[in-house]
Amino acid sequence: MSKLVKQMQMEALRRTFTGVQDLILLNIQRLDARTTTQVRLDLRKKNIRLHMVKNTLASRVFKELGLEVPERCWQGPTIVAWGSTGIAQLAREIENWAERIRSEKPQVVFEPKVAIVEKRSVSFEEAKRFPTREEALGRVVGMILAAASNLVAQLQAPASRLAGQIKARAETHPPSSPA
């Protein structure tokens, strides 16, 4: 491959992956065209893209973009998956397809190599355990509401105590009536 062609391919990779912080590198082998099309169409509906890359060129571009990818991940065929609402959703969709393909076509290799989360590499298993955006927001809202209810309880406690003391005092010392 000529130097000019390599430069053009690297520039295309730069344009494609500039701004991408979450992605998964996959090893997919012996997958037939029909299944490949099904996978791509289903993932595209979920705003997930797949792109087969040449390891040497992608390795250089990813380093330039600040994406930490372990060298061991650049062995064998490499397909990059990115998109969706976050790494958790992306990892779950990839895992669903991996399980489905393993059960239907045991001869096919469909394995995640590594996940990149905010430009740092993590294992695919860790990426699957991350909360989705909605789950994370739900947890934050729950924590805020719990703190708010504790604050309200703390503010009401002295007033309740004072009201109880006034009531007890009123019961032990009935108001005297003017003669």
Q: Would you state the torsion angle of the CA atoms of residues 100, 103, 106, 110, taken in this order, to the nearest 10 degrees?
A: 20
Q: Find the length of the chain.
A: 179
Give one DSSP letter per residue of 71-110, joined into a string.
GGGGSS-EEEEEESSSHHHHHHHHHHHHHHHHHH-TTSEE
Domain boundaries, the chain: 3-130, 131-179
Q: What per-residue confidence (pLDDT) applies to 136?
A: 66
The model's pTM is 0.72
Contacts (Cβ under 8 Å, ≥6 apart) of 77: 27, 28, 29, 52
Q: Take residue 84 and report the two structure tokens written for it.
A: 């969706």
pLDDT value for 11: 95
Note down pLDDT in tens along the chain; length 179 residues: 789 999 999 999 999 999 888 999 999 999 999 999 999 999 999 999 999 999 999 999 999 999 989 999 999 999 999 988 888 889 999 999 999 999 999 898 999 999 999 889 888 888 888 766 666 667 777 777 777 777 777 777 777 777 777 877 777 876 666 65
| CA angle centred on 57, ends 63 and 85, rounded to 5° | 60
- Tell me the CATH number for domain 3-130: 3.30.70.1730
Q: What's the confidence (pLDDT) of residue 133? A: 67
d(CA 10, CA 25): 17
pLDDT at position 79, please? 95
**DSSP-assigned letters across all residues of 154-170:** HHHHHHHHHHHHHHHHH
